[in-house]
A = this chain, B = another copy of it.
Amino acid sequence: MKSPTHCADTGSDYDVLQWDTREDCEVRQILDRIADKWSLLVIALLDRGSLRFTELRREIDGVSQRMLTVTLRQLERDGLVERTVHAVVPPRVDYALTPLGRTLHETVRSLVAWTESHQREIAAARATYDARTG
């Protein structure tokens, strides 16, 4: 049996604590998707309401058309984002969080909030480290 699972049955002590670090574990794969550079930002932005492709692109500085498309497709595939195509000219496509996606938002929000509130400490730590190591 090689298919990805939650694999909470490896016998390791740590699995008791619900963590799973196994490579073929589905949780780890999903984690990688969500904790993605662009995914995080897209989820963050969409929580305030649906946005069009171009609006997302404008808000997320530095994202290429290609990567935004790829990211949105992945999030759509995972059931986190809903894509709505309006049959008008010019085309209009709206992206919004699904109910499942909204349940994720709070967690994502807290991760970003942590980063915002601790960025000074991290910057200081980096400066110290860099000075120490040359």
Contacts and interface: CB of A to CB of B under 8 A. Distances in A.
Q: In the assembly, how many copies of this chain are there?
A: 2
Contact of A27 (B103, B112, B128): B112
A60 B134 CA distance: 30
Contact of A78 (B40, B107, B126): B126
Contact of A35 (B18, B19, B36, B80): B36
Nearest to A133: B77
Nearest to A132: B77
Contacts of A69: none
B21 A130 contact: no
Contacts of A22: 61-62
Contacts of A32: 37
